[in-house]
C-alpha cells in the first residue's frame, strides 16, 4: 500500500507543480485556487456528488471530465476524480442493467420489443442492433435517474459523515481540555 501511495504522490500534480505540465498550463490560474485542493465541508460533498454523477453518466474518461468540472463547481479535484472510480468495468454491467429496468419502469413500458419483428431481422449483428435501438430510451432515462440519485445520496452521506467527523474531533479536543484543566487545578 505504501508503494501505491508513493506512486500517486509522484505522478499526480499538486497545486504548486501545475504550471510545469504543458497540458495544464491553460488551467493553471483556476487550478491554483486553494479551495480546489483543500478538504473542507463544502468542497468534499460537492466533489462526491460530482464524481458519482459524472462517473455514472460517462463510462469512459470520467475522471478527466470530473476533474475539469470540479473547477467551476468549486469541488475538491482529487476527491471528484477518485470517486469516479466507483464506476469501473466490474460495475458497469449491473449499473446499465439497473438503468434499463429503472428506465423501463419510468416509461411504464411492458414488453416494448415485438418478438415477431425481432425474429424477422436477419443476422446476429442486425438483431443485436435492433434490441439495442429499442432499449436505448429506457437505458438513457435510467442512467440519468441513477446519476441524479447517486449524486444526491453521495452529497448527503458525505456531508453527514464530514460533520460527524468534525464533531468527534471537537469532542475529543474538549475532553483533552477538561483533563488538562483538572490536572492544572488539582
* Percent residues over pLDDT 70 in the chain: 71
pLDDT at residue number 167: 92
pLDDT at residue number 51: 94
For residues 25 and 18, give the distance between their C-alpha atoms in angstroms, rounded to a whole number: 7
Please give the mean pLDDT across all residues of the chain. 81
**Whether the Cβ atoms of residue 48 and residue 143 lie closer than 8 Å to each other:** no
Instruction: List strand residue ranges (DSSP E) for the chain, in order.
Output: none
Residue 16 lies in a domain: no
pLDDT at residue number 1: 55
Closest CA to 59 of 147, 130, 134: 147
Residue 21 lies in a domain: no
**Whether the Cβ atoms of residue 76 and residue 43 lie closer than 8 Å to each other:** yes
pLDDT at residue number 168: 92
Q: What confidence tens digit (pLDDT) does each residue in 134-181 have?
A: 778 888 899 999 999 999 999 999 999 999 989 998 999 999 888 888
Residue 123 lies in a domain: yes
Give the confidence band of 182 by pLDDT, cuts at 50, 70, 90.
confident
Residue 3 lies in a domain: no
Residue 1 lies in a domain: no
Give the confidence band of 118 by pLDDT, cuts at 50, 70, 90.
low
pLDDT of residue 26 exceeding 90, the answer is no
**Whether the Cβ atoms of residue 162 and residue 41 lie closer than 8 Å to each other:** yes
Q: What confidence tens digit (pLDDT) does each residue in 55-96 have?
A: 999 888 888 889 889 888 889 888 898 899 888 889 999 999
Residue 111 lies in a domain: yes
Residue 44 lies in a domain: yes
pLDDT of residue 47 exceeding 90, the answer is yes
CB atoms under 10 Å from CB of 181, counted, come to 10
Give the confidence band of 40 by pLDDT, cuts at 50, 70, 90.
confident
Residue 23 lies in a domain: no
Q: How many domains does the chain divide into?
A: 1
For residues 100 and 126, give the distance between their C-alpha atoms in angstroms, rounded to a whole number: 20
pLDDT of residue 113 exceeding 80, the answer is no
pLDDT at residue number 139: 87
Q: Which burial class, exposed, middle or buried, applies to 151 when counting CB atoms under 10 A from its CB (0-12, 13-18, 19+)?
A: buried
pLDDT of residue 19 exceeding 80, the answer is no
Higher per-residue confidence, 176 vs 28: 176
Q: Which three cell numbers stand for residue 39?
A: 478538504
Which DSSP letter does residue 87 get?
A: S
Domain of 87 in residue numbering reads as: 33-185
In sequence order, the 6+-apart residues with CB closer than 8 A to the CB of 154 are 45, 48, 49, 51, 52, 83
Amino acid at each position: 500500500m505504501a508503494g501505491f501511495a508513493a506512486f500517486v504522490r509522484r505522478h499526480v500534480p499538486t497545486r504548486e507543480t501545475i504550471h510545469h505540465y504543458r497540458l495544464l498550463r491553460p488551467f493553471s490560474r483556476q487550478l491554483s485556487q486553494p479551495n480546489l485542493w483543500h478538504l473542507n465541508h463544502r468542497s468534499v460533498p460537492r466533489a462526491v456528488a460530482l464524481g458519482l454523477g459524472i462517473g455514472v453518466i460517462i463510462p469512459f474518461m470520467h475522471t478527466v471530465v470530473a476533474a475539469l468540472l470540479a473547477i467551476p463547481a468549486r469541488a475538491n479535484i482529487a476527491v471528484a476524480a477518485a470517486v469516479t472510480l466507483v464506476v469501473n468495468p466490474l460495475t458497469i454491467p449491473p449499473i446499465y442493467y439497473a438503468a434499463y429496468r429503472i428506465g423501463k419502469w419510468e416509461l411504464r413500458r411492458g414488453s416494448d420489443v415485438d418478438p415477431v419483428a425481432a425474429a424477422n431481422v436477419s443476422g446476429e449483428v442486425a438483431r443485436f442492433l435492433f434490441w439495442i435501438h429499442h432499449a436505448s430510451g429506457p437505458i438513457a432515462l435510467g442512467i440519468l435517474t441513477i446519476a441524479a440519485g447517486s449524486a444526491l445520496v453521495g452529497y448527503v452521506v458525505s456531508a453527514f459523515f464530514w460533520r460527524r467527523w468534525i464533531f468527534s474531533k471537537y469532542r475529543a479536543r474538549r475532553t483533552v481540555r477538561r483533563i488538562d484543566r483538572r490536572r492544572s487545578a488539582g
